[in-house]
């Protein structure tokens, strides 16, 4: 699919820019502390440890923020969770991924998200989304989340956010340590660090939006039902209007539907506009 290839090219360009930011940070560290093997090894190990901590802590926080519970494998009240398990098992066979841990939560809005990687993934769906969607629409949502795991989207986003944090820290302390060490220096350093981090996050958010399009298209391809995926997005968007989502600040970027607000949403939004996602699906 041409659109799919175009998205991948744009993601590669944004990823190259992120690597450039990391290379600049590495260069600044090595310029300050030397270019020896020990400095390089410490830089690489420190970067891996930083990313690893953010990945593990972020996964734990996402599940905790919505009070996610393991999804039963049978019926519980009005919910037939066994049917959901069977759908996921079939999709996993189609997509060539291991079945992730399935969890359910009361989020206050119809939504779903995935955390983890291939072989250690978790998919969380809200009870509200089970109430709202027809079975084929829910299958589209499940396939979307499995696509995120298959494509290692969570790992890539954590890597991008880690690079943004490292750039901000280096800029902040580089300015502070090179200044007069007074209160004004600390304030300016914090401001410059924040601005630097925001600049890098523009590229991270661009990658996030591209990956939502790719996951939509993958879901439509594997379920062979792009219209069901489009209908699911429309219903989720309508069902979330005027409602607050539990754990929103922690999991909004991970969810199938993200809140869109503020004049800078076009640049810093983690999700493309729902209308554009639906139009792309209906054009498949």
Distance CA(79)–CA(88), nearest Å, equals: 16
Measured torsion, CA atoms of residues 275, 219, 128, 76, in degrees rounded to the nearest 10:
170
Q: Cα–Cα–Cα angle for 98, 140, 107, nearest 5°? A: 90
Q: How many residues does the chain have?
A: 284
Residue pointed to by tokens 């630097």: 196
Measured torsion, CA atoms of residues 217, 218, 223, 229, in degrees rounded to the nearest 10:
-40
What secondary structure does DSSP assign to 189-223, as a single string?
A: HHHHHHHHHHHHHHHHHHHHHHHHHHHHHHHHHHH
**128, 145, 212, 217: the active-site residue:** 145
Residue 227 neighbours by CB under 8 Å, 6+ apart: 281, 282
How do strand 122-126 and strand 101-105 relate by DSSP bridges?
parallel
Q: Are 221 and 81 in contact (CB under 8 A)?
A: no
Distances (CA, A) of 278 to 20, 112, 212: 34, 17, 12
Tokens of 255: 């969810």
Distance CA(234)–CA(238), nearest Å, equals: 6
Indicate if 94 belongs to the active site. Answer: no
Which are the catalytic amino acids? Answer: 145
């Amino acid at each position: 699919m041409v659109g799919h290839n175009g998205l991948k090219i744009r993601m590669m360009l944004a990823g190259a820019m992120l690597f450039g930011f990391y290379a600049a940070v590495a260069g600044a560290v090595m310029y300050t502390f030397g270019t020896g093997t020990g400095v390089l090894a410490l830089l690489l190990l420190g970067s891996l440890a930083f990313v690893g901590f953010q990945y593990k802590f972020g996964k734990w926080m996402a599940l905790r923020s919505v009070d996610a519970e393991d999804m039963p494998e049978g019926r519980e009240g009005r919910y037939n969770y066994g049917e959901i398990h069977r759908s996921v098992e079939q999709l996993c066979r189609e997509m060539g991924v291991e079945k992730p841990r399935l969890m359910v939560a009361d989020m206050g809005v119809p939504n779903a998200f995935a955390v983890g990687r291939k072989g250690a993934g978790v998919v969380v769906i809200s009870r509200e989304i089970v109430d709202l969607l027809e079975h084929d629409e829910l299958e589209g949502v499940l396939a979307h989340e499995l696509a995120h795991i298959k494509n290692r989207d969570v790992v890539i986003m954590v890597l991008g956010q880690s690079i943004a944090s490292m750039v901000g820290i280096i800029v902040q302390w580089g300015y502070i340590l090179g200044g007069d060490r007074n209160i004004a220096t600390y304030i300016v350093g914090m401001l410059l660090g924040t601005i630097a981090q925001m600049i890098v996050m523009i590229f991270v958010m661009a990658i996030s939006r591209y990956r939502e399009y790719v996951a939509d298209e993958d879901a439509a391809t594997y379920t062979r039902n792009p219209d069901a995926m489009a209908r699911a997005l429309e219903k989720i968007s309508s069902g979330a209007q005027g409602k607050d989502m539990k754990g929103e600040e922690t999991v909004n970027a991970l969810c199938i539907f993200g809140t869109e607000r503020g004049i800078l949403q076009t640049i810093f939004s983690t999700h493309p506009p729902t209308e554009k996602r639906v139009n792309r699906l209906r054009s498949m």
